[in-house]
Amino acid sequence: MKSVSSAPGKIILFGEHFIVYGGKAILCAIDRRITVESELMDNGKIEITSSVGNALLSTSDQVSSVEPSLRPIVHLAKKILAEYNSTSGIRIGIYAEFPAGVGLGSSSACCVAAASSILGLFADQTRDRVLELALEAERTVFESTSGADTTVCTLGGAIEYHRDGYAAKLDFEPNFTLIVADSQISHSTSSVVSRVRKYKDNNPAIFSLLCTQEERLIEDALEALKNGDLRVVGQRMSQNQKYLEQIGVSNDKLNVMVDLAKSTSYGAKITGAGDGGCIIALVDQSNIESTMKVLCESGHQCFGVKVDMLGLQHKLELT
Ligand code: MEV
């Protein structure tokens, strides 16, 4: 029997970095997925194949014996096998519809899909249990995560996320597309988060003021999203970008891309940790083509994404 789960990637519309210290963020799951397939094996091994790397180890080996990007998956395999007193090995295949390390939530989607897929070999599951396991797995490599990415990859839709883990799906019909453009600069979320922490410690008054301004901006954005007012949502995104520039997570290339995208879209900003990765621009039918054109003609790879309303999906397949 094969247990197959998939989870969507994500973009952060508002609140990245600030959410690590409290307040709210607004995130959307996107219509690009990561699928994880698991099967029990009788060889006592954990075997992982994925586009970011492969691993073959014994179920008794340490999690730290594999490269960091695969550690959350090994953690999940060992934990769930032990929880169900299984002496089996396990084969895990990971298939992604979008690149890793560009701020689109690949590691979170992977943790969610893997937690669900492996758990599905042994038991019925709830989204709460999968989310709990996925968060624990993600924290093996990124201890201070706010949990926002993992939560939206589990729930799908657009969500308002609070630092204490509370999440509410926004009750609206998304009338927009997001253009995602990749800066092709790789980044590490945990090291950008550490750098922001230093900025906060060195500039407590400025950081606290920015948190307050971000909170107000998010309240406006929530109202505008519910009213379908893309002009206001876009303006708030561009304002959010200014706060992110102030805390040092944008750079010259990202600023140029954001300015280009802003010239035709409702608004643009980096998404996720920044320092590299992707920018997003808010569009609808009236400006999607012009925004794609302005970015493509300047040599930036870009594509449009819609909000995924499904979230985590799981099924069992007979082999
Ligand atoms: C990364 O996608 C989002 C950050 O806010 C970190 C986090 O929320 O855990 C930078």
Q: Which of 130, 146, 173 is the last residue of a domain?
A: 173
The protein residue with its alpha carbon nearest to ligand 1, atom 8, reads 146
pLDDT at 173: 84
Is residue 127 located within the same domain as residue 166?
yes
Is residue 155 located within the same domain as residue 183?
no
Q: Which of 146, 173, 200 is the last residue of a domain?
A: 173
Q: Is the CB of 135 under 6 A from ligand 1?
A: no
Q: Which of 138, 173, 208 is the last residue of a domain?
A: 173
Is residue 163 located within the same domain as residue 200?
no
Q: Is the CB of 273 under 6 A from ligand 1?
A: yes
Is residue 51 located within the same domain as residue 185?
no
Is residue 127 located within the same domain as residue 237?
no
Is residue 167 located within the same domain as residue 190?
no
Atom of ligand 1 nearest to the CA of 15: 5
Domain CATH code at residue 265: 3.30.70.890
Is residue 57 located within the same domain as residue 76?
yes
Atom of ligand 1 nearest to the CA of 18: 5
How does pLDDT run across 88-125, given as a tens digit for each residue? 999 999 999 999 989 999 999 999 999 999 999 999 99
Answer whether residue 282 is part of any domain. yes
- Contact between 150 and 138 under an 8 Å Cβ cutoff? The reply is yes
Answer whether residue 312 is part of any domain. no
Ligand 1 centroid to Cα of residue 142, in Å, is 10
pLDDT at 195: 97
Is residue 8 located within the same domain as residue 143?
yes
Is residue 90 located within the same domain as residue 208?
no
Phi, then psi, of 140 in degrees rounded to 5: -70, -20
Ligand 1 centroid to Cα of residue 272, in Å, is 6
Ligand 1 centroid to Cα of residue 282, in Å, is 20
pLDDT at 269: 98
pLDDT at 97: 97
252 lies in which domain range? Answer: 177-305
pLDDT at 52: 85
Could you give the CA distance from residue 148 to residue 215 in angstroms, rounded to a whole number?
A: 16
Domain CATH code at residue 97: 3.30.230.10
Answer whether residue 311 is part of any domain. no
Answer whether residue 83 is part of any domain. yes
pLDDT at 90: 98
Atom of ligand 1 nearest to the CA of 10: 2
pLDDT at 125: 95
pLDDT at 18: 98
Answer whether residue 318 is part of any domain. no
Is residue 202 located within the same domain as residue 152?
no
Beta bridge partner(s), residue 280: 180, 269
pLDDT-flagged residues of the chain (< 70): none
pLDDT at 264: 98
Atom of ligand 1 nearest to the CA of 274: 10
Could you give the CA distance from residue 108 to residue 309 in angstroms, rounded to a whole number?
A: 17
Q: Is the CB of 187 under 6 A from ligand 1?
A: no
- DSSP letter (8 states) at residue 280: E
Answer whether residue 317 is part of any domain. no
Atom of ligand 1 nearest to the CA of 142: 9
Answer whether residue 310 is part of any domain. no
Is residue 152 located within the same domain as residue 18?
yes
The contacts of residue 104 (CB under 8 Å, 6+ apart) are 9, 10, 11, 30, 32, 98, 180, 271, 272, 277, 278
Answer whether residue 319 is part of any domain. no
Is residue 234 located within the same domain as residue 103?
no
Looking from the CA of 301 toward its CB, the CA atoms found within 13 Å total 9
